[in-house]
């Protein structure tokens, strides 16, 4: 389906006047808030006006129309540009009162755009580089949908990005992927104003931007960002592009301000009442703050209605389409019954025939069973597919010649991978997961944090989760990562102990609709500790008694992952010394914390508690209490075979049981 851009230029429209409505709404809102970034909205007002007036395919009446163009303000500090556009074009969520309440408590017009606050805000931006990088995920999502449903999906993703966006390292990872995939539906409008917070960008940024993007297989155009004809010509060319396109818009920051135009002082501070007064005189804007006269507002509202008919016709055709029900299921994130049946079958299989494998392999076993049942499941790895065990046999590779797949080779681009997954998730209808080593979660953490902040159920498969990886040494052995990740709000960190817990944790993650999940998985084999069918997902409780009699206990051992089997071995040895131990497996501390107080107390008991985890002890103090002890690691690791390392750090049956006996028996 070849849908033409929503283009209908009105000869009587004065684009400069329309752009000035953006400028003054932005300047007045920042001034009223006494906080904000007015320079970028003033500088990019002309580009944004042409885009929304002539090219962007959108409809405020149908804000979630699936085949709309996506507009992403990567330069999120210039949020008033987006809020002004949403108000002017008629999005109901952004009223004039919301504009006046910019940056105030509970306003939809937050300091940086936040997804979920209002229709028209496709993604939370502000951390530079994230918007443009996640936009690659949006564009990729459209290409995948177009490959499967070519008569339904055919749209573009437009991005406004700043110098700061291009300086961030994640951007290079993302633009490299976009060019490699030849994402012809991705259009980046680069606000090339040569100004950063500290001053002229020459202070630290002298890249040859054109050659940089060209080397990544992008098409480059350079225009005067204040010349309507040049803007229109560049956007017209973008409609015919056969690869991603960067439009360098040479602009002046704070365009229209009499003394602050082109200065760094306009970037992140209000212009001041005198400057705005002079700006009104300069631009002949004879209106009060927040006033947009009817003869200017009407053309803007007309632009907002221009896509209504196209949207209505598409929605009508979609509703009667043979595939709409399946697409709706994917977007609702409802799991097919066959997937839940597959999980049950996997668990029963482990109960019938217990296995000793690494949890990364057990995770792949799950994927082999569910991948063909979930077309929306999009896997991938940052050049560690064989180590992460993230690819199931039925999965097909996505590449620039064939987007009809469901597995992505991201290359060594952990941060870019996470940002792309956010874009896939926000687009809707996909359940992305991606793999790397747990230690490299530090490389992707900013995008992971946005997954949690935006309530996106992205799944991170992070293997080689402890000193158990052995000889690769302390550079690859995660110590503080688990504690650090558990501290992040709205994130489930799963460290399963065996095949049954691994299957349960995958099912929990896929049933979660509003939070991301991490799987911390082992390189080394683990023993199966769950041997009885409980008819319920015990992992869903976050922690539970996996071994021992809760009515007759002297100590409680709390462990996760590979250390659960170790804790059972310790408990068995303690029993020979007439010490009755209960072993609590805690695959997800956050889910355990969300249980009732009674359940938590019954599970942990009132006897001395001992936590065992081959990682930082930091996150365990809340569970062991004053009378307990933590067997953990609070230094970096070392290079040696895993058994030697566990012995070195005191994580053996003999050393743990000896210390427990000393503490209990005195």
Residue-level pLDDT at 13: 67
Q: 387 falls in which pLDDT band (50, 70, 90)?
A: very high
The per-residue pLDDT for range 323-334, each reduced to its tens digit, is 999 999 999 999
Q: Average pLDDT, stretch 401-417?
A: 98
CA–CA dist 561, 539 (Å, integer) = 12
Residue-level pLDDT at 2: 37
Contact 380, 410 (CB under 8 A): yes
The answer to whether residue 536 is domain-embedded is no
| Together in a domain, 469 and 574 | no
| Together in a domain, 422 and 548 | no
The per-residue pLDDT for range 490-511, each reduced to its tens digit, is 999 999 999 999 999 999 999 9
Q: Which of 229, 280, 305, 236 is nearest to 63 (CA)?
A: 305
The answer to whether residue 77 is domain-embedded is yes
CA–CA dist 661, 161 (Å, integer) = 61
Token pair belonging to 273? 């009442």
Contact 153, 142 (CB under 8 A): yes
The per-residue pLDDT for range 57-104, each reduced to its tens digit, is 999 999 999 999 999 999 999 999 999 999 999 999 999 999 999 999
Packing angle between helix 169-181 and helix 414-427, nearest 10 degrees? 70
First vs last C-alpha separation in the chain: 78
The per-residue pLDDT for range 155-191, each reduced to its tens digit, is 999 999 999 999 999 999 999 999 999 999 999 999 9
Between CA 465 and CA 535, with CA 499 as vertex, the angle to 5 degrees is: 135
CA–CA dist 39, 31 (Å, integer) = 12
What is the percent of the chain with per-residue pLDDT over 70, rounded to a whole number? 98
| Together in a domain, 518 and 629 | no
DSSP helix/strand/coil, 344? helix
Catalytic residue positions, numbered? 414
- In Å, what is the CA distance from 587 to each residue of 549, 558, 563? 20, 10, 11
DSSP annotation string for 472-500: G-TTT--SSHHHHHHTSTT-EEE---SHH
Q: 1 falls in which pLDDT band (50, 70, 90)?
A: very low
| Together in a domain, 522 and 647 | no
Residue-level pLDDT at 4: 43
CA–CA dist 176, 178 (Å, integer) = 6
CATH number of the domain that 570 lies in? 3.40.50.920
Residue-level pLDDT at 526: 98
Contact 48, 83 (CB under 8 A): no
Q: Which of 86, 68, 78, 49 is nearest to 5 (CA)?
A: 68
Residue-level pLDDT at 6: 46
Q: Average pLDDT, stretch 593-604?
A: 98
Domain endpoint, select from 479, 498, 526: 526
DSSP helix/strand/coil, 639? coil
The per-residue pLDDT for range 24-34, each reduced to its tens digit, is 999 999 999 99
The answer to whether residue 327 is domain-embedded is no
Domain endpoint, select from 260, 287, 316: 316
Q: How many residues does the chain have?
A: 666
| Together in a domain, 455 and 555 | no
Token pair belonging to 255? 């365009």
- Spatial CB neighbours of 245, under 8 Å, sequence gap ≥ 6: 186, 187, 188, 218, 219, 220, 221, 237, 238
- According to DSSP, the residues that pair with 219 across neighbouring strands are 245
Is residue 366's pLDDT more than 90?
yes
The per-residue pLDDT for range 238-266, each reduced to its tens digit, is 999 999 999 999 999 999 999 999 999 99
Residue-level pLDDT at 665: 85
Residue whose pair of structure tokens reads 């949690």 in the numeric block: 452
Q: Which of 269, 245, 283, 266 is nearest to 194 (CA)?
A: 266
The per-residue pLDDT for range 16-52, each reduced to its tens digit, is 999 999 999 999 999 999 999 999 999 999 999 999 9
- According to DSSP, the residues that pair with 436 across neighbouring strands are 462
Residue-level pLDDT at 535: 87
**How many domains are there within the chain?**
3
CATH number of the domain that 515 lies in? 3.40.50.970
Contact 335, 373 (CB under 8 A): no
| Together in a domain, 464 and 346 | yes
Packing angle between helix 15-33 and helix 294-305, nearest 10 degrees? 100
Residue 397 is classified by DSSP as: B
- Spatial CB neighbours of 624, under 8 Å, sequence gap ≥ 6: 558, 609, 610, 611, 630
DSSP helix/strand/coil, 546? strand
The per-residue pLDDT for range 572-585, each reduced to its tens digit, is 999 999 999 999 99
CA–CA dist 19, 50 (Å, integer) = 9
Residue-level pLDDT at 11: 52
Is residue 306's pLDDT more than 70?
yes
Backbone angles phi, psi at 174, to 5 degrees: -75, -45
Kind and range of the H or E run holding 223: strand 219-224
Please, what is the average pLDDT of the chain?
A: 96
Query: Other CB atoms closer than 10 Å to residue 227's CB: what's the count?
Result: 16
Tell me the longest C-alpha to C-alpha distance in the chain.
92
The answer to whether residue 7 is domain-embedded is no
Query: Which residue range(s) make up the domain with 589?
Result: 541-665
The per-residue pLDDT for range 125-157, each reduced to its tens digit, is 999 999 999 999 999 999 999 999 999 999 999
DSSP helix/strand/coil, 461? strand
The answer to whether residue 549 is domain-embedded is yes
| Together in a domain, 229 and 363 | no
| Together in a domain, 69 and 152 | yes
| Together in a domain, 549 and 491 | no
| Together in a domain, 50 and 95 | yes
Dihedral of CA atoms 435, 441, 445, 448 in degrees, nearest 10, equals 30
| Together in a domain, 395 and 456 | yes
| Together in a domain, 31 and 101 | yes
């Amino acid at each position: 389906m070849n849908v033409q851009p929503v283009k209908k230029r009105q000869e009587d429209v004065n684009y400069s006047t329309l752009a000035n409505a953006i400028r003054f709404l932005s300047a007045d809102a920042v001034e009223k808030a006494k906080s904000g970034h007015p320079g970028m909205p003033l500088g990019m007002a002309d580009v944004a006006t042409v885009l929304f007036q002539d090219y962007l395919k959108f409809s405020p009446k149908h804000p979630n129309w699936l085949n709309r163009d996506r507009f992403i303000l990567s330069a999120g500090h210039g949020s008033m540009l987006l809020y002004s556009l949403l108000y002017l074009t008629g999005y109901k969520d952004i009223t004039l009162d919301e504009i006046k309440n910019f940056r105030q408590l509970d306003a939809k017009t937050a300091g940086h755009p936040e997804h979920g606050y209002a229709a028209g805000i496709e993604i939370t931006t502000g951390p530079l580089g994230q918007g443009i990088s996640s936009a690659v995920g949006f564009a990729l999502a459209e290409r995948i949908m177009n490959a499967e449903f070519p008569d339904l999906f055919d749209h573009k993703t437009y991005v406004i990005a700043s110098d700061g966006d291009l300086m961030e390292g994640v951007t290079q990872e993302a633009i490299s992927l976009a060019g490699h995939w030849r994402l012809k539906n991705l259009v980046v409008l680069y606000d090339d104003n040569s100004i950063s917070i500290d001053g002229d960008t020459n202070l630290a940024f002298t890249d040859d931007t054109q050659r940089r993007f060209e080397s990544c297989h992008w098409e480059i155009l350079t225009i005067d960002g204040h010349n309507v004809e040049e803007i229109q010509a560049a956007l017209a060319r973008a409609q015919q592009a056969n690869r991603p396109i960067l439009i360098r818009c040479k602009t002046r920051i704070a365009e229209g301000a009499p003394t602050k135009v082109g200065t760094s002082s306009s970037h992140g501070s209000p212009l001041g009442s005198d400057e705005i007064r002079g700006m009104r005189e300069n631009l002949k804007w004879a209106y009060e703050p927040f006033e947009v006269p009817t003869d200017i507002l009407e053309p803007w509202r007309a632009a907002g209605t221009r896509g209504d008919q196209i949207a209505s016709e598409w929605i009508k055709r979609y509703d009667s389409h043979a595939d709409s029900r399946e697409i709706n299921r994917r977007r609702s994130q409802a799991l097919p019954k066959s997937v839940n049946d597959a999980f049950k079958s996997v668990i029963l299989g482990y109960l019938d025939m217990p296995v000793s494998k690494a949890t990364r392999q057990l995770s792949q076993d799950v994927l082999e069973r569910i991948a063909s049942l979930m077309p929306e499941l999009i896997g991938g790895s940052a050049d560690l597919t064989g180590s992460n065990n993230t690819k199931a046999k039925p999965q097909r590779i996505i590449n620039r010649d064939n987007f009809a797949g469901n597995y992505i080779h991201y290359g060594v681009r952990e941060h870019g991978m996470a940002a792309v997954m956010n874009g896939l998730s926000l687009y809707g209808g996909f359940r992305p997961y991606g793999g790397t080593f747990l230690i490299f979660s530090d490389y992707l953490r900013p995008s992971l944090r946005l997954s949690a902040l935006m309530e996106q159920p992205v799944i991170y498969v992070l293997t080689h989760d402890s000193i158990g990886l052995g000889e690769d040494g302390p550079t690859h052995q995660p110590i503080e990562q688990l504690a650090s990740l558990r501290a992040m709000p709205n994130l489930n960190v799963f460290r399963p102990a065996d095949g049954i817990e691994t299957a349960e944790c995958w099912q929990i993650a896929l049933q979660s609709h509003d939070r991301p999940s991490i799987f911390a998985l082992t390189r080394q084999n683990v023993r199966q500790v769950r041997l009885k069918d409980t008819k319920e997902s015990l992992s869903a409780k976050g922690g539970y008694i996996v071994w021992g009699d809760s009515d007759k206990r002297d100590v409680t051992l709390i462990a996760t992952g590979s250390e659960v089997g170790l804790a059972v071995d310790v408990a068995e040895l303690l029993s020979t010394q007439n010490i009755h131990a209960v072993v609590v497996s805690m695959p997800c501390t956050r889910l355990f914390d969300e249980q009732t107080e009674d359940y938590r107390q019954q599970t942990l008991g009132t006897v001395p508690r001992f936590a065992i985890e081959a990682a930082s002890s930091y996150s365990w103090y809340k569970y062991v209490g004053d009378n307990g002890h933590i067997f953990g690691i609070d230094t970096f690791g070392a290079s040696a075979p895993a058994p030697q390392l566990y012995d070195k750090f005191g994580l053996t049956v003999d050393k743990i049981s000896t210390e427990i006996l000393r503490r209990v028996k005195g």
